[in-house]
């Protein structure tokens, strides 16, 4: 195996994230997918890159009880995951990157009544998505 054919780990990971922007995935999914393309990345490289992408706000990380693993989802075209709220479908697990403007009114009235301020970046609203609403 010659090194020059090797894709940079970060690029390989982002490539996968873009293809799967609508779905949740685990570090294990990425490891499998990236290495299926002929790369030979180890688990710690994957984790390190995922952590960095989370820090950069390109990725949201959350705990998933049904698969008992940490899941990730890419925020393509939604801006930084530190600056908006997430909504998760309780049926299929899909994550939505929600603009804070939708919560502004509720946030303002909570501030008035309870004196609390929402930490948007840490807030996950449980919901049913349009595909699951009738289930
Ligand atoms: Zn997000
Ligand atoms: Zn759903």
Q: List the one residue out of 5, 8, 107, 83 whose CA is nearest residue 49.
A: 8
Query: How far is the centre of ligand 1, averaged over its atoms, from the C-alpha of 117 (Å)?
Result: 19
pLDDT at position 82: 87
Query: How far is the centre of ligand 2, averaged over its atoms, from the C-alpha of 70 (Å)?
Result: 18
pLDDT at position 15: 85
Mean residue pLDDT across the chain: 85
Q: What would the pLDDT profile of 70-108 be if each residue is shown by its tens digit? A: 888 888 778 888 889 999 888 888 888 999 999 999 999
Spatial separation of the C-alpha atoms in residues 32 and 41, rounded to whole Å? 9
SS3 (DSSP) at 129 = coil
Query: How far is the centre of ligand 1, averaged over its atoms, from the C-alpha of 86 (Å)?
Result: 6
* pLDDT at residue 5 greater than cutoff 80: no
Query: How far is the centre of ligand 2, averaged over its atoms, from the C-alpha of 38 (Å)?
Result: 33
8 A C-beta contact, residue 109 and residue 96? no
Spatial separation of the C-alpha atoms in residues 84 and 103, rounded to whole Å? 10
Query: How far is the centre of ligand 1, averaged over its atoms, from the C-alpha of 3 (Å)?
Result: 34
pTM value?
0.73
Lowest mean pLDDT among 15-19, 55-59, 66-70, 91-95: 66-70
* Burial class of residue 15, CB neighbours in 10 A (0-12, 13-18, 19+): middle
129-132 long-range contacts, Cβ below 8 Å, gap at least 24?
Answer: 129/89, 129/91, 129/92, 129/94, 129/96, 131/89, 131/92, 131/94, 132/89, 132/90, 132/91, 132/92
């Amino acid at each position: 195996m010659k090194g020059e054919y090797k894709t940079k780990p970060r690029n390989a990971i982002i490539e996968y994230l873009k293809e799967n922007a609508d779905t949740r995935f685990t570090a294990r999914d990425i490891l499998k997918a990236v290495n299926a393309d002929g790369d030979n990345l180890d688990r710690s490289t994957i984790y390190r890159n995922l952590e960095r992408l989370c820090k950069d706000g390109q990725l949201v990380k959350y705990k998933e009880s049904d698969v008992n693993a940490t899941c990730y989802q890419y925020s393509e075209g939604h801006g930084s995951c530190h600056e908006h709220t997430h909504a998760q479908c309780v049926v299929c697990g899909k994550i939505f990157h929600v603009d804070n403007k939708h919560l502004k009114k509720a946030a303002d009235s909570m501030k008035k009544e309870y004196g609390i301020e929402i930490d948007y970046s840490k807030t996950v609203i449980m919901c049913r998505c349009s595909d699951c609403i009738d289930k």
